[in-house]
Homo-oligomer: A and B are copies of this chain.
Amino acid sequence: MKSYRKELFFHLPTRRGIVNITRQVEAALKESGVKEGLVLVNAMNITASVFINDEESGLHQDFEDWLEKLAPEKPYSRYRHNGYEDNADAHLKRTVMGREVVVAVTEGKLDFGTWEQIFYFEFDGKRDKHALVKIIGE
Contacts and interface: CB of A to CB of B under 8 A. Distances in A.
Contact of A132 (B58, B79, B100, B104): B104
Contacts of A14: none
A10 interface: no
A52 B92 CA distance: 12
Contacts of A88: 58-59, 62
Given A80-B62, A91-B62, A5 B104 contact: yes
Nearest to A134: B104
A19 interface: no
Nearest to A51: B95
A92 B66 contact: yes
A102 to B, nearest CB: 5
Interface residues of A, number: 56
Interface in A1-55: 1, 3, 5, 36-38, 40, 42-46, 51-54
B130 A36 contact: no
Contact of A38 (B38, B95, B99): B38
A88 B92 CA distance: 21
Interface of A: 1, 3, 5, 36-38, 40, 42-46, 51-54, 56, 58-59, 61-63, 66, 70-71, 79-83, 88, 91-92, 95-104, 106, 111-116, 130, 132, 134, 136-138
